[in-house]
Amino acid sequence: MKLVISSDHAGFPLKEEVRAYLTRAGHEIVDLGAYKVEPEDDYPDFAERVGLAIKQGVAPRGILICGSGVGVCVAANKIPGIRAGMCHDTYSAHQGVEHDDMNVVVLGARIIGASLAFEVVDAFLRAQFIAKEERFVRRFNKVLAIEAKYQCGDGSKSPA
Catalytically active residues, by annotation: 66, 99
CA distances 52 to 37, 48, 49, 78, 124, Å, are 23, 6, 5, 11, 20
DSSP symbol at 81: T
Phi, psi dihedrals of residue 85, rounded to the nearest 5°: -135, 135
Say how many C-beta atoms besides its own lie within 10 A of residue 9's C-beta.
19
